[in-house]
Structures are given as structure tokens and as C-alpha cells.
Chains A and B, each alone.
Chain A
Amino acid sequence: MLRIKGGRIYDPERNINGQVEDICIQDGKIVASVDEDAPTLDATGLIVFPGGVDVHTHVAGGAINFARAMSPEDHRRAQAFIRTQTTRGGIGGYAPTTFATGYLYAGMGWTTVNEAAVPVLSARHTHEELHDIPVLDKSLLVLMANNEILLDLLDTGEHERAKDVVAWYLWAAKAYGVKAVNPGGVAAWKWGHDAKQLSTPIDGYQRVTPGDIITHLARIVDELHLPHPMHLHCNNLGAPGNVATTLETMERLEGHRAHLAHLQYHAYGGDDWDSMRSAAAQVAEYFNASPHLTTDAGVVLFGDTVTITADGPWQHLLYKLTGRKWGNLDVENETGCGIVPYTYKRTNLVNAVQWAVGLELLLLIDDPWRVFLTTDHPNGACFWRYPEILHLLMCRDFRRECWNTFPDRIKQRIVLPELDREYTLLEIATIISAGPAKALGLNTKGGLAPGKDADLVLYSPNQDVAQMFSHPRYVIKAGQIVVEEGEIRSTPAGREIIFQPGFSPDVESYLRERFEDCYTMSFENYPVEMERVENPLIQSADPSGQS
């Protein structure tokens, strides 16, 4: 039991904008009132936000663990987490270890994260890592847009069976939702190719095109009533002129819900690297008129990081461009994965445009309920740099200081200098918590109303916005104080949120027959056992339909 007294509340869902109200907590939930003699936390003068929700991050599983192996030189210079009576040892940096990931997110006031790209084949491994990320509640999305069993079904137009296959995979992985990465392109990468055109059949298939995968998968996700729409990493990521692909993708999504991941990487004009320019205005204009879509920004910040994505062909190109280390991991029947360390430089024309585009999208998309703060961690920057971005969004003068250092030829390629918008605190609370919680369909997250999970963060007001957001005064997770003045006070285990749609039982015999041809693991060993998932919180669309 706890009463938080006298704080200034920011709750976008109820449009509470800094009014002073008490918040009462009991059994991990926010409640309308608690006993008079409940312990009190004096929050006078403090700003109270719902705990942060990351809609798109890469914190656990084969890909980030590959990146950890490839980054010993970064670990050596990164923040060391010394074990204490409350915390375990670890390493920060651009590919933090699991325990450190929990401490870094919680230390910043984020309490829920969505691991956005997991091959079903390595879901067992991913759950083991998620188990070792303390404090946070977690969900994961499985990669479906290059699954060869599914592509065969789409090629022959067997929509109903494809739907069952997707539902079965979600059940097998103990996942929460569906991710599509470079639809068809990663399947083509298995032979060293890519898929650049939405209407050209994919290598090795008769009919199915990337555009078909996008619409079919979005439809399947809608028909399965998944709480989170299809989470899409569009084709042609990172390429100059890819705005055409992005607009065409949005057109094909008419009539379906979808979440467009890291939109910054998909909003470029120009014809080649020399002529690359921002196309954020075009993308934002279309997006503003498409209320069925949500997106996250995928902001780039200058500095060192490592890029990891299921988009194998893109990573091969990045390796050729940079000549740096290259990790690649193709996963049988399902997907690929590529890893390349990268340094974003403010003197590099392409990087400067990318930096601007991420901010432009956040400023040009009108509705904060539909665009969310991410860096596509660790791709654009590490998640622990979010406060720097909040500073840029809230302070036009600070933005000017930054872009003023760019050479003139860059300033002509971006629209950022013309944008005067400054985010309010309520809008910030929307893009870091309420909005992503709503897009994920996590009804108990992202708000401060009675009935919500008692995940909240209290900041001391500070002119230095970045300082304020990186050092909360208190962080409370499920009613327990986990961070106090920048120190980890307790490290309770988080929960894993799982969604299990129903599927027709015949899909098992269909998959069992195909399994030996596609995989090297026996059918019985493939699904993750529910006992392996720590504290599962299972949701299902139709409780009776579960097989």
C-alpha cells in the first residue's frame, strides 16, 4: 500500500495535464483510495508520469547476443555495473548485458519493453534472456514475413491455412505479436538477393510479391484479433529514394491496422547517397491522413552504436559501405539477421539527414498518440540516450544549436530548420508511455487511472530536460519502489506478456508433415514449453478456442 501525495500528474489518457492529485497503490495496481494510515510518499513539486513503454527495441535473443560477442572493444569502455546486494554485475554500452538492460531501462523510468524481432526457432533462447532482464515487463514479436511455409501458402492463395499457421507459430513461440521485416527480401537473401519492388514476385516464387505479404499478413493479424497490429519494417530500409516504397506500402495497408517500425529509415528522397534528402514531410503528410496506422520514429543520434536487424541484405550492403565487422545469421525457414557496428557522424551528409528525419517525423506527425519515441535500439542509438531526444523535442533552440553546426549543403536537404514545434510534457508522456501502450494493446499500461498497473515514474522538475529525464527521483514498478535518486533499490522479476490466438487443430498435422523438410529440429521439440516462461501473463482472444 502506498499513497503518492501532492505530485503533478501527467496522464494523457484522461487528459490530466499537471494537476496536483494523489495516487494510491495497492497490490501492484493503482486504486481509487487506500487506508488513511497507508505509507505516504511525499511527491510535492514532483512530476508524475506513467512508466515508459518501449514499442520497439532489441534487448534479448540471438541477434543482440551476437552483437554482444562482436563488441568486446565497446564493453571495455562502457559503463560497468558492479554487483551489489541488490544488483548483479554487467556491462552497459551499445549492446548491454541482460541484467544491465533491466537496470538501465528502469533507471530511466521505462518499465515495459517490446522485443521486436524474434525468430520462432530461437524463441526458447530469447525467453531465457528475457528471464534475466529484471524489473521490466516484456513482450516479444515473432518474424513471419519471410517464413517459407507461410510464403508457400500465400503463393497458392491458402489464406485460411496461413492464418492458422501464424496462430500456431505465435502459440509455439509464446509470443505477443507479429513482426514483418523486409517482406520477401530476407527470403531472397537466402540466395544472396533482395526484394526491392513491392509488385515483383519474390525470387523462387510464382506469384507472391512483397506487397501481397504485407496485405495478407496485416489481414491475418486483424482477423486473429491480435492486440498489436502487424509490426512492419518496410522494404528498402535505409536506401535513398525509399519514400516511394514507403508510400506504396502505406497505400497497400488501406483498410488494415499496422505499426510502421522506425519510420526514419524509410523516409528518404534523392536518387543516390550524394543526392539523399529528407522526405519526412511527404511521409508525414500521408501518415497524418491514415488514422489506422501507428509508427515509431527510430531516431538516430550521433555516436557509436551497432546495427542489428533481420534485414540480412541491407546489412551486407552496410558492411560493404563501411568495411567494418559483419555478422550474419540466416535462420532456416524463417528469417535472417545481420549485425554491423556503425558510427553516425554529424559531418557525414547521410547521417546528418538521418538525424534530422527522425526528429522531423516526430514534429510533423500531428497526433502524439500515433508516433512514439524509439531509436530502434541499438540501431539509431542506444535506448539510454532517449533523454537527449526528449530535450531536442522540447527545445527548438537546442535543435538549432545542433543543426547550425551542419554544413550548408546539408541544411538544404532537411526541413528541420523550419519546424518550430516544441513538445509539451503531456505530449512527451504520450509518445513515451500512453501512446505505445495503447498501440501495443496493453490496457493496464501507460496510464495513472485506477485499475492500471502501478508502474510510474517521478521526476524533479529541471530546466535541463535531458538531466531530468535521465535521473528520475523515483521509479515504481508494480507498486514497488525500484529506483530512488538514480540508484537501484530493488530488482523484482518482471512479467512476460503473451498472446495466444486460437487455431484449428488440423494445422498441427499439416505442419508436422512439412516440418522435417524445413527444419532440423523435431516437431515436438520446437514449441517453447510454457514452464520455461517466467511469470507469464497470458491473454487470448477467445478463451474457448484454444487448442
Chain B
Amino acid sequence: MGGKVTCTLGEVKNRADFIVYWGGNPAECHPRHFTKYTIMQKSRFLPRGRKDRTMVLVDIRETKSVKAADIFLQVRPGKDFELITVLRAMIKDQPVDDSAIAEIGLQRSDLEDLVARMKRAKFGVMFFGMGLSMTRGKHMNSAALLTLAAEMNAFTKFVAMPMRGHGNVTGADVVMRWQTGYPFGVSYHRGYPRYNPGEFSTVDVLVRGDTDCVFVLGADPGATMPQPAIEHLKRVPTIVLDPHVTHTSRLANVHITTAPAGIAAAGTAYRMDEIALPLRPAIDSPYPSDFEVVRRIHEAIRQKPDWRVRSPWIERQLDAAH
């Protein structure tokens, strides 16, 4: 188990005749997803657009996205992993107990129908949101769904993609990976990147009170993190860069207003499928860009004596000079 079988959004637009949204509410959270990339688009291979596509929504409650779906499967809260596991068994024609299905809160006939449709599809895609990845089971739920998508390729073309959000979170993830090998939760304390979600992720570092300074860029932990983390933000020097005054700005020592990227500042954003898009400013701003502020802070820090490890070569040069 592991990996990810995925594609860029244009593949979904051009080919996907079977689309599942799982644990997400795109109608409200990604309002242009339907029209730009998934169910509403016509293409060379799906000339009738919506009519050529089937959309399934899996969620624990009825959301505004239900109206857009052909099929809505209401899973019992916390039973997503069980449902995925049952589907993984059913696609391979393995026997599944009635009790296992009852536990999920669905009918066997619903699941049989779903499996038949998945196998009939020419190109299936599963988008999954935080309703799957941030509820009971967390990353194990995501891994199970990704595995289901991979295994479906024994029958037909199938892919899966997380519904990323929160501004340019995908961009941060991509850059961290090429510079450190890891997407997030990285510690540089030993001078090289180490990765341990649960230990080095921001929330854990704050809750433990391990930092003596916090620099917040493109995030609002003061609005989303648990109280002990927020208490620590108040205790230590906290610096916020943001176009708006955020909850975090209110508990920070320093707030620097920056020009919003893509509106008043240039830059790059990575789409949820990791395609880099150029951002061009439409208007001028009196405020500097995030990049400019970080550059100037970095410049100022460089004036301080360098405390980093010296390479043995430099040590020798210094010895020779003395």
C-alpha cells in the first residue's frame, strides 16, 4: 500500500466519465471545480458533457453538493475506512459479511451498483476531501482510497486526487519536497532535513512550546489551531506576514501587511494537481510582496555573525590564515 495514482485536472476534464467526491463539499469549498474541471465540461471524448458523466458523492451528511450528484451515499460517521475496505473486497469478488455492510450504514445493493458502475467506467476519478483525510483514521483513510484507485486499474482506468485548498498549500508542499525531500513537518535542527509528522509539524511544535520565535506566512494558526498552540503564540515573539489582519495578527508582536499574491503581487501558485501557474498582479499595492519582506529580513539576518557549521575546508583556510 502506498503511492498515488493520479493525473492533471485536464485529464479529468477530457476523459472522466465517472467522478466520485468523497468527504468534501466542492459546491461550497471549491465552487469552480465542477464547471472548470469535472462534471460540466464537454470534451472530445465526452461531447455531451454532464450527460456523459456520472457523479457520486460520499459524505456523512447532505451538503449543497448533493444536488449536483447522480448518486449520494451517506456513510455513517467514522466508517469511511470500512467502506473503502469493503469496496476493495467487492471489486475483487471477495465475500463480504452483511454485518460489515450494515455497520457502514449502506445497503448491499447500493454498493453492488457502485462497484458495477466503477468497473463500467472508461475513466474513473476519486477526489477526496478533509471529511476523509482529517476524520477518524486520517492518513490511513487516504491511503486506503488511493489503494482502491490503484487496484481499480486491474479493470479500467482509475485515478484519485486530494482536494487541496488553503491558498498555495500545494506550492509549499512541492517546494519543501525538492529542497528537503519531505512535504511538511520538517526539522532543520540538526542542520539537515528530518521528517516526523506528530513531532515536527507546526501544531505539535507549538503545543509542546518548543519554539522561542514564530514566523507566520500565508496561514492563520490563531484561527485554526488548538488553544495550547495559540497560548504559545502569545507567549513568544510572533511575526505575521499577511495582506489582512488575521486572528494570528491580533496575538502577534509584529504584523507586516503585504500585497496579496495574484492581485497586487507576482508569483507562482501550484494547482492541486501540482501544475505551476504564474501569478500576475492586476493592480498596484502600496505594500511590499511577501517575497520582498522575506528577502529583506534575510538580508538583515545575514549581517549578523554566521553561526553555521563551517566546512572542514573553511576551517583549514582559517587555520592557515592565523
Contacts and interface: CB of A to CB of B under 8 A. Distances in A.
A132 interface: yes
Interface in A50-78: 60, 62, 65-66, 68-72, 75-76
Contacts, number: 180
Contacts of B180: 89-91, 97
A81 interface: yes
A70 B143 CA distance: 12
Interface in A228-242: none
Interface string B1-18: 111111111110111000
Contacts of A76: 195
B181 A329 contact: no
Is the contact region of chain B dominated by helix, strand, or loop, or is it mixed? mixed
A538 interface: no
Interface string A29-40: 000000000000
B33 to A, nearest CB: 11
Nearest to B279: A525
Contacts of A72: 181-182, 195
Interface stretch (A156-164, A330-338, A497-505): A330-338
B181 A71 contact: yes
B177 A68 contact: yes
Given A84-B309, A97-B180, A332-B10, A191 B275 contact: no
Interface in B6-46: 6-11, 13-15, 36-37, 43-44
A342 to B, nearest CB: 13
A519 interface: yes
A93 B270 CA distance: 26
Contact of A330 (B159, B181, B195, B311): B159
A324 B190 CA distance: 31
Contacts of B2: 70, 324-326
Contacts of B191: 82-83, 89
Contact of B13 (A122, A332, A529): A332
B157 interface: yes
A400 interface: no
Interface stretch (A205-213, A416-424, A484-492): A484-492
A192 interface: yes
Contacts of B43: 517
A87 B7 CA distance: 35
A331 B44 contact: no
Contacts of B123: 190-191
Nearest to B122: A191
A529 B278 contact: yes
B15 A190 contact: yes
Contact of B37 (A65, A91, A520): A520
A89 B44 contact: no
Contacts of B311: 84-87, 487-489
B289 to A, nearest CB: 15
A87 B314 CA distance: 12
A5 to B, nearest CB: 21
A80 interface: yes
Interface in A397-425: none
Contacts of B190: 80, 82
Nearest to A83: B191
A125 interface: yes
A329 B7 contact: yes
A125 B309 contact: no
Given A72-B181, A91-B192, A332-B8, A518 B313 contact: no
A521 B44 contact: no
A84 B314 contact: yes
Interface string B151-192: 001101101000000000000001101111111000010111
A90 B7 CA distance: 28
A69 B191 CA distance: 20
Contacts of A80: 190, 192
B284 interface: no
B275 A330 contact: no
Nearest to B153: A316
Nearest to B10: A332
Nearest to B36: A520
Give the one of A91, A330, A333 with max B CB within 10 A: A330
A371 interface: no
B273 to A, nearest CB: 8
Interface of B: 1-11, 13-15, 36-37, 43-44, 122-123, 150, 153-154, 156-157, 159, 174-175, 177-183, 188, 190-193, 195, 268, 270, 274-278, 306, 308-314
Given A80-B190, A91-B181, A192-B157, 11 more contacts: A83-B309, A85-B306, A89-B191, A91-B193, A95-B181, A96-B181, A97-B178, A125-B270, A327-B6, A339-B3, A520-B37
Closest 10 CB pairs of A and B: A332-B10, A325-B2, A325-B3, A330-B7, A82-B191, A80-B192, A192-B157, A520-B10, A84-B311, A328-B5
Interface of A: 60, 62, 65-66, 68-72, 75-76, 80-91, 93, 95-99, 121-122, 124-125, 128-129, 132, 190-192, 316, 319-320, 324-333, 339-340, 484, 487-489, 517-521, 525, 529
